[in-house]
Structure 1
Amino acid sequence: MTSAGPGRPRHQQPSRPGATAREEILDAAAELFTTQGFASTSTRSIADAVGIRQSSLYHHFKTKDDILEDLLEGTVSGGLTFARAVAALPAGPLEAEGPAGSRLHAVAVYDGTQLCNARWNLGVLYHLPEVRSTRFARFLNDRQELRHLYGELGGGLSATAAGPDGGDLTFRLVESLIYLRADGAVGPESPLQAADAGLILCGLGRELPAIRAASRSLIDRLA
């Protein structure tokens, strides 16, 4: 996407993170969507927060939905890319990849870290009524694929045959970090704690030290 050309001057010097006007628009929108609400935020207010004309914003994004779509995609893209890489690893000897649950734990830690460390807590927008429409099918499909990969990696990890799916349970625990963050209740260890909780509830508490070590090794190798 080309940057704003002649006739689209800034009102002020750039003051937001981002190498391009497009990135500054995304940052401003992320702040406004998460602090004022999506419905209450206008494209004019986003442009004002960046210091550009509203017409310049439309040079990069045609609608407010386009901005929201890019922001939502950003919340799952990193975790999904990492989960795909982990799921694609060839099956190897147990001692090579660590005990059962190591791959699931690695994905949970990595994904949870992405959610907790993002500049804005955009996961709170997942359940907007607007996001349920087919307009956001790309994001919804990617999030569903990520959830499916959690399920694949957690296959067979439930403590009992009648117990919950270990992967889906861990996925839900990781996404709970979004709401803990909204309450100011997350810290540097929160992603690890969510991953640990998922594996403990799958009955793998005794193996947790070895799972953690193998998980860390996978993240160092693939991230």
Structure 2
Amino acid sequence: MAACDDAVVSSPPSTPTAGRPRSGTRRLPAATAREEILDAAAELFAQRGYTATSTRLIAEAVGIRQASLYYHFANKEQILAELLEATVRPSLAYAGELSRKDLTAAVALRELVKYDVGVLLGARWNIGVLYALPEIATEPFTHFRRERERLRLAYRRLAAAAASDRIGDPDVAGDLVFGLVESVIGMRRDLPVLSSAEQLQRTVAAAALRLLGADDDRSDDPA
């Protein structure tokens, strides 16, 4: 009797597998993957340092694969550039809004200072501490440097218009105001307890006007 051929059993059609699930809970449940990557990177950059943080560590903090991170950002420099630009972009836009309003220079400057301080204090992570990194002088951060310079020039213009005649060099005065605003970055880093954001906004704005010898005319407050 001839032996029977072994039956050929066909395999069932393969089912596409889902992507690798995140490990752990999401950092920001309502955020996009890109926003979570930025948030994780900001925390690591601010607390561990930029050099000590790799894209692998950022991906692990989000709970995704490193390859998934590269879908959103080409490299670590691109992540930092986006974070840095986010610290100046809102204030630049607000400076433009103020320029279109019928305000005295002193009032416009006061409002810009308050807004800018609010941006720097309101960020979830104190990313401004990275402004002094030597890497910021390199090509990947050209756009950030240009945007920050535009903000500095906005302060210079308002300071020149608001300063009293006793101020010798209005450009220097404008740079001093700009530095005064950014001093809240160091305060946030160094002081265990800060005053409320609203109180710091008022205090820094008042100090800026005193530095310029300008009148703080509350009757001309923006609507």
Does residue 179 (structure 1) correspond to residue 186 (structure 2)? The answer is yes
Instruction: Judge conservation of contact 1:105–1:199 (CA < 8 Å) in 2.
Output: yes
Instruction: Judge conservation of contact 2:156–2:170 (CA < 8 Å) in 1.
Output: no
Gaps of 5+ in 2: 1-17
Aligned amino acid, residue 175 of structure 1: E
Q: Percent identity?
A: 44
Instruction: Judge conservation of contact 1:47–1:54 (CA < 8 Å) in 2.
Output: yes
For residues 90 and 115 of structure 2, what CA distance do their matches in structure 1 show? 9
Q: How far 1:162 moved relative to its partner?
A: 1.7
TM-score when scaled to structure 1? 0.83
Q: How far 1:88 moved relative to its partner?
A: 3.0
Does residue 134 (structure 1) correspond to residue 139 (structure 2)? The answer is yes
Question: What does residue 193 of structure 1 align with?
Answer: 203
Q: How far 1:163 moved relative to its partner?
A: 4.7
For residues 130 and 169 of structure 2, what CA distance do their matches in structure 1 show? 30
> Cα deviations across residues 77-116 of structure 1 (Å, max 9, x unaligned)?
1111101111233xx4xxxx3x551101100000011101
Instruction: Judge conservation of contact 1:112–1:175 (CA < 8 Å) in 2.
Output: yes
Q: How far 1:60 moved relative to its partner?
A: 0.8
Secondary structure (helix, strand or coil) at the match of 1:101 reads helix
> Cα deviations across residues 189-221 of structure 1 (Å, max 9, x unaligned)?
1122111111001113xx33x34x64xx43xx4
Change (3 A) 1:181 1:191: same
Q: How far 1:8 moved relative to its partner?
A: 4.8
For residues 87 and 172 of structure 1, what CA distance do their matches in structure 2 show? 21
Does residue 154 (structure 1) correspond to residue 166 (structure 2)? The answer is no
Gaps of 5+ in 1: 1-5
Aligned amino acid, residue 132 of structure 1: A
Q: Which has the larger radius of gyration?
A: 2
TM-score when scaled to structure 2? 0.83
RMSD: 2.0
Q: How far 1:186 moved relative to its partner?
A: 3.3
